[in-house]
A and B are shown apart, each in its own frame.
Chain A
Amino acid sequence: LAKTTQPISMDSYEGQEVNITCSHNNIATNDYITWYQQFPSQGPRFIIQGYKTKVTNEVASLFIPADRKSSTLSLPRVSLSDTAVYYCLVPTSGTYKYIFGTGTRLKVLA
């Protein structure tokens, strides 16, 4: 059974880069890793997705090492509005049954 773990919480200051890592022990070669942001009383919102090396979009980057046992979400120059809980999401190997990470509560300070 896939298991995904993340740091419980992180604090950062505005303007800093934040890196959040997710450890996943059982995903297949072509399985995608997806990251979401969640604010209180809202559904998770898609941030970025990838399955190897590095992916970048307008809000974040995703780094996936060769062994694919972890992935790192990078948020450049965070602002107060980035205060939220961040989750990784991975499929159980070979299926579309999904496992969320334990979630990382990011607090951005002024």
Chain B
Amino acid sequence: EAQVTQNPRYLITVTGKKLTVTCSQNMNHEYMSWYRQDPGLGLRQIYYSMNVEVTDKGDVPEGYKVSRKEKRNFPLILESPSPNQTSLYFCASSSAGFQPQHFGDGTRLSIL
């Protein structure tokens, strides 16, 4: 089954403790992206990747890092999480940058 898989689905952690949210797709897609969703602010893009080793900033990249060492994986790294990064995070992928994106089921992060 074609899918975008995020892990973990839920995480409660503390300020400053490094964490990684993994994202994996099984569709051989070139384009991958991370979004965060917040009440009143909607969905905003954090980072995106056009292909392996090619990443670029979205609208809200501060406090986040990404890497694209393999085509199928696009982890989101929070080196020193802060409470304002408490949010619902979605990973997405598409076969090319202009094609419709397939979204994962989301990761709910709470930073205390």
Q: How large is the interface on B (under 10, 10 to 19, 20 to 34, 35 or more residues)?
A: 20 to 34
26 A-B residue pairs with Cβ-Cβ distance under 8 Å, sorted by A, are A32-B98, A34-B100, A36-B103, A42-B106, A43-B90, A43-B92, A43-B103, A43-B104, A43-B105, A44-B43, A44-B101, A44-B103, A45-B103, A46-B100, A46-B101, A46-B102, A95-B56, A96-B50, A96-B97, A97-B45, A98-B33, A100-B44, A100-B45, A102-B42, A103-B42, A103-B43
What residues of B have a CB within 8 angstroms of the CB of A43 in the complex?
Answer: 4, 90, 92, 103-106
The docked-state distance in angstroms from the alpha carbon of A95 to that of B50 is: 10
Binary CB contact string for chain B from 30 to 73 against chain A (1 if under 8 A, 0 otherwise): 01010100000011110010100000111100000000000000
| Beta-carbon contact of B42 and A97 below 8 Å | no
Q: How large is the interface on A (under 10, 10 to 19, 20 to 34, 35 or more residues)?
A: 20 to 34
What residues of B have a CB within 8 angstroms of the CB of A91 in the complex?
Answer: 97-98
What residues of A have a CB within 8 angstroms of the CB of B97 in the complex?
Answer: 91, 96
Q: How far is the CB of B51 from chain A (nearest CB, A)?
A: 11
The docked-state distance in angstroms from the alpha carbon of A43 to that of B108 is: 12
Summarize B's interface: helix, strand, loop or mixed: strand
A87 interfacial by beta-carbon distance below 8 Å = yes
The docked-state distance in angstroms from the alpha carbon of A11 to that of B17 is: 44
| Beta-carbon contact of B58 and A98 below 8 Å | yes
Given B42, B56, B104, which contacts A100 in the complex, CB threshold below 8 Å? B42
What residues of B have a CB within 8 angstroms of the CB of A98 in the complex?
Answer: 33, 45, 48, 58
What residues of B have a CB within 8 angstroms of the CB of A87 in the complex?
Answer: 42-43
| Beta-carbon contact of B90 and A99 below 8 Å | no
What residues of B have a CB within 8 angstroms of the CB of A46 in the complex?
Answer: 100-102
The docked-state distance in angstroms from the alpha carbon of A25 to that of B2 is: 34
Other than A97-B59, A99-B59, A100-B44, give 7 A-B pairs with Cβ distance below 8 A: A34-B100, A34-B101, A36-B103, A96-B50, A99-B45, A100-B43, A102-B42
